[in-house]
Amino acid sequence: MDNRPALPPEIARRRTFAIISHPDAGKTTLTEKFLLFGGAIQMAGQVRAKGEARRTRSDFMKMEQDRGISVSASAMSFEYDGHRFNLVDTPGHSDFSEDTYRTLTAVDAAIMVIDGAKGVESQTRKLFEVCRLRDLPILTFCNKMDRESRDTFEIIDEIQENLAIDVAPASWPIGMGREFIGAYDLLNDRLEIMDRADRNKVAESVKISGLDDPKLADHIPPAQLEKLREEVEMARELLPAFDRKSFLEGHLTPIWFGSAINSFGVRELMNGIREYGPEPQPQMAEARQIAPEEEPVTGFVFKVQANMDPKHRDRVAFVRLASGHFERGMKLTHVRSKKPMAVSNPVLFLAADRELADEAWAGDIIGIPNHGQLRIGDALTEGEGLRFTGIPSFAPELLQSVRSGDPMKAKHLEKALMQFAEEGAAKVFKPMIGSGFIVGVVGALQFEVLASRIELEYGIPVRFEASQFTSARWVHGPRDKVDAFSNVNKQHMANDHDGDLVYLTRLQWDIDRVTRDHPDLTLSATKEMM
Ligand code: G4P
């Protein structure tokens, strides 16, 4: 990355990232403080308040609220200190990991939030592994230091051991729980003091010449000051120092200690992203990499969301711009259909509202309202027949058949299922024999979400029932062999929503047998969504 040419300033100032965490660690609170300091909202609490208002409009959203999970990912853009931050929200619940995986293909870095009392939790680890697959640089925020937390060294050790990544302290906490005063900023030699009286106020920041500076004694009681000096000395001896190259390669994570609810440590973290966070990175495509500074506009769809606005039955395709300078009204080529597409009403997601985007640059996320033409994995270009890679679709882990409570609405049900398949919310398989559909998901909760959405958005009551199959594999191979195989295994065959052939079974033994008996065929648990 070091020997790449400098990016145009408009691109270089962009930071596109996601926040990953275990539920309850403080992702929502941190997001809200980002928006507050980014000037995108006036007052903390607005994101939730807005959320509440939105949720009352739909039971589906209500379900998110009841269960304390966020089902849908969205993107938010705001300005911070001369930089454009694009924050892509990831669904936190493990049932939506495929969605999360695809969301992470659209960002250049991730912030990992952990709870200071709980350390690395199961979902943190899973999400971290996904980031690692893509070598994403990770910044760590250890939250809730205003509560009784674990010992600082212990937390750092746990991250290093558990996630096999070096941890470099960017700040060092002073006390914890009720004794928490603030933190020493190791990167800039500043003392940050938390204001407990006003949760939205930025910490008082005192420039210090080093840990021997007598000014420290004005702010920190002697016992705590001594402990701070000892700990920092030990940390400097035992832990790696921050190294940007190592961070950008995904080998080292800087960690900040703070309290999101008290706005503490948030600015330092934001400054960290601004200062050290990666610029928009090249994107992988078949045959070549797409560099952000290339002039022609290119981008790929990483998420499709339907019915974001109940007034309009539209879908919004979330597009990560991989290169170029996009202007509203541009005619782009929709590579899959080879058709031109005038992008006349793209939207930028500014905190609470959708706003028309007049322009956007490589690294930005724009939303393109459409009627279903745009699917996950689709490429938009100025003519080049590009295929972006690395946006996989995973074989579902749970299969159920779907029954409509209203047999007259079979066509509508099919339409609803196809929509969810195109959104990537579920896999839908049409068996070669018999009628009806089999729906595949990664986590059981998705069936409930689907049933609730089908009823809400299409007015069809449905039931999901056990299916005779439990596994699905995409079948690849020479045409004649695939045809011969599917002819004699019709009772196991189905097509997915793209028409691709799938082998359904309930036995791993079957999959092993097919693999053994048909060396020309591959049964695959993933397919690229293009
Ligand atoms: P999530 O999105 O990661 O699930 O977490 P969220 O921000 O919703 O935070 C989970 C809970 O932790 C919330 O409390 C939130 O107020 C609290 N929290 C967040 N940051 C801090 C912090 O720095 N210190 C302390 N002490 N608590 C923090 P809740 O009771 O579930 O919700 P609420 O009633 O406060 O909204």
3-class state of residue 39 by DSSP: coil
The confidence score (pLDDT) of residue 201 equals 72
Measuring from atom 30 of ligand 1, which residue has the nearest CA?
A: 24
Reported as a single tens digit per residue, the pLDDT across 439-450 is 998 778 889 888
Out of 32-46, 120-134, 170-184, 312-326, pick the least confident.
32-46
Q: How far is the CA of 15 from the centre of ligand 1 (A)?
A: 25
Average pLDDT over residues 256-270: 95
Out of 142-156, 163-177, 516-530, pick the least confident.
516-530
Confidence of residue 309 (pLDDT cuts 50, 70, 90): low
Place of tokens 């980031």: 131
Phi, psi of 414, deg, nearest 5: -60, -40
Q: Alpha-carbon distance 421 to 439, whole Å?
A: 9
Testing ligand 1's pocket by substitution, the residue of 19, 21, 27, 29 carrying the most ligand atoms inside 8 A of its CB is: 29
The confidence score (pLDDT) of residue 360 equals 94
The confidence score (pLDDT) of residue 214 equals 93
Q: How far is the CA of 105 from the centre of ligand 1 (A)?
A: 27
Query: Over the chain, what is the mean pLDDT?
Result: 86
Average pLDDT over residues 92-104: 69
Is 91 a known ligand-binding residue? yes
- Taking 50 as the threshold, does the pLDDT of residue 321 lie above it? yes
Measuring from atom 33 of ligand 1, which residue has the nearest CA?
A: 29
Measuring from atom 24 of ligand 1, which residue has the nearest CA?
A: 144
Average pLDDT over residues 260-282: 96
Is 176 a known ligand-binding residue? no
The confidence score (pLDDT) of residue 103 equals 85
Place of tokens 């004649």: 480
Ligand 1 in reach of 29 Cβ (< 6 A): yes
Measuring from atom 6 of ligand 1, which residue has the nearest CA?
A: 26
Ligand 1 in reach of 263 Cβ (< 6 A): no
Q: Tell which wins on pLDDT, 375 or 238.
A: 238
Is 25 a known ligand-binding residue? yes
Ligand 1 in reach of 144 Cβ (< 6 A): yes
Average pLDDT over residues 284-294: 93
Ligand 1 in reach of 265 Cβ (< 6 A): no
In the chain, pLDDT over 70 holds for what percent of residues?
88
3-class state of residue 440 by DSSP: strand
Q: Tell which wins on pLDDT, 361 or 94.
A: 361
The answer to whether the CB of 341 falls within 8 A of the CB of 331 is yes
Reported as a single tens digit per residue, the pLDDT across 14-51 is 999 999 998 899 998 898 888 888 876 655 444 444 44
Is 92 a known ligand-binding residue? yes
Ligand 1 in reach of 93 Cβ (< 6 A): no
Reported as a single tens digit per residue, the pLDDT across 153-166 is 999 999 999 999 99
Is 370 a known ligand-binding residue? no
The answer to whether the CB of 477 falls within 8 A of the CB of 521 is yes
- Taking 90 as the threshold, does the pLDDT of residue 54 lie above it? no
Confidence of residue 395 (pLDDT cuts 50, 70, 90): confident
Reported as a single tens digit per residue, the pLDDT across 200-238 is 777 778 888 889 999 999 999 999 999 999 999 999 999
Ligand 1 in reach of 147 Cβ (< 6 A): yes
The confidence score (pLDDT) of residue 43 equals 52
Which stretch of DSSP H or E encloses residue 446? helix 445-458
- Taking 90 as the threshold, does the pLDDT of residue 184 lie above it? yes
Is 26 a known ligand-binding residue? yes
Q: Alpha-carbon distance 402 to 467, whole Å?
A: 9
The answer to whether the CB of 396 falls within 8 A of the CB of 440 is yes
Which stretch of DSSP H or E encloses residue 275? helix 266-276
The confidence score (pLDDT) of residue 39 equals 76
Ligand 1 in reach of 146 Cβ (< 6 A): yes
The confidence score (pLDDT) of residue 417 equals 93
The confidence score (pLDDT) of residue 296 equals 97
The confidence score (pLDDT) of residue 96 equals 55
The answer to whether the CB of 255 falls within 8 A of the CB of 167 is yes
Atom of ligand 1 at shortest range from CA of 262: 23
- Taking 60 as the threshold, does the pLDDT of residue 105 lie above it? yes
Confidence of residue 311 (pLDDT cuts 50, 70, 90): low
- In DSSP notation, 407-420 reads GGGHHHHHHHHHHH
Ligand 1 in reach of 70 Cβ (< 6 A): no
- In DSSP notation, 308-349 reads SSTTS--EEEEEEEEESEEETT-EEEETTTTEEEE--S-EEE
The confidence score (pLDDT) of residue 278 equals 97
Q: Alpha-carbon distance 521 to 263, whole Å?
A: 56
The confidence score (pLDDT) of residue 218 equals 93
Q: Alpha-carbon distance 23 to 223, whole Å?
A: 35
- Taking 60 as the threshold, does the pLDDT of residue 52 lie above it? no
The confidence score (pLDDT) of residue 245 equals 97
Which residues does 101 contact at the CB level (< 8 Å), separation at least 6? Answer: 130, 392, 394
Ligand 1 in reach of 143 Cβ (< 6 A): yes
Q: Alpha-carbon distance 333 to 232, whole Å?
A: 55
Q: Alpha-carbon distance 81 to 353, whole Å?
A: 21
Out of 56-70, 279-293, 451-465, pick the least confident.
56-70
Ligand 1 in reach of 189 Cβ (< 6 A): no
Measuring from atom 4 of ligand 1, which residue has the nearest CA?
A: 24
The confidence score (pLDDT) of residue 70 equals 38
Average pLDDT over residues 278-282: 97
Q: Alpha-carbon distance 393 to 371, whole Å?
A: 22
Ligand 1 in reach of 297 Cβ (< 6 A): no
Measuring from atom 9 of ligand 1, which residue has the nearest CA?
A: 26
The confidence score (pLDDT) of residue 340 equals 96
The confidence score (pLDDT) of residue 490 equals 95
The distance from CA 357 to its chain's CA centroid, rounded to whole angstroms, is 22
Q: How far is the CA of 25 from the centre of ligand 1 (A)?
A: 7
Which stretch of DSSP H or E encloses residue 30? helix 27-37
* Whether complex ipTM tops 0.90: yes
Testing ligand 1's pocket by substitution, the residue of 20, 261, 269 carrying the most ligand atoms inside 8 A of its CB is: 261
Which residues does 136 contact at the CB level (< 8 Å), separation at least 6? Answer: 104, 107, 108, 109, 110, 250
Torsion from C-alpha of 366, 372, 376, 382, nearest 10 degrees = -60
Confidence of residue 259 (pLDDT cuts 50, 70, 90): very high
Confidence of residue 363 (pLDDT cuts 50, 70, 90): very high
Ligand 1 in reach of 23 Cβ (< 6 A): yes
Neighbour count for residue 318 (Cβ, 10 Å): 26
Confidence of residue 92 (pLDDT cuts 50, 70, 90): low
- Residue 90: both structure tokens together: 């990831």
Measuring from atom 14 of ligand 1, which residue has the nearest CA?
A: 24
Which stretch of DSSP H or E encloses residue 205? strand 204-207
Strands 190-193 and 182-185, sheet pairing: antiparallel
Q: How far is the CA of 259 from the centre of ligand 1 (A)?
A: 10
Q: Tell which wins on pLDDT, 425 or 184.
A: 184
3-class state of residue 518 by DSSP: coil
The confidence score (pLDDT) of residue 50 equals 44
The confidence score (pLDDT) of residue 181 equals 93
Q: Which residues in 20-55 are b (16+ Cβ under 10 Å) and which e?
A: bbbeebbbbbbbbbbbbbbebbeebebbeeebeebb
Ligand 1 in reach of 114 Cβ (< 6 A): no
Out of 179-188, 203-212, 390-399, pick the least confident.
390-399
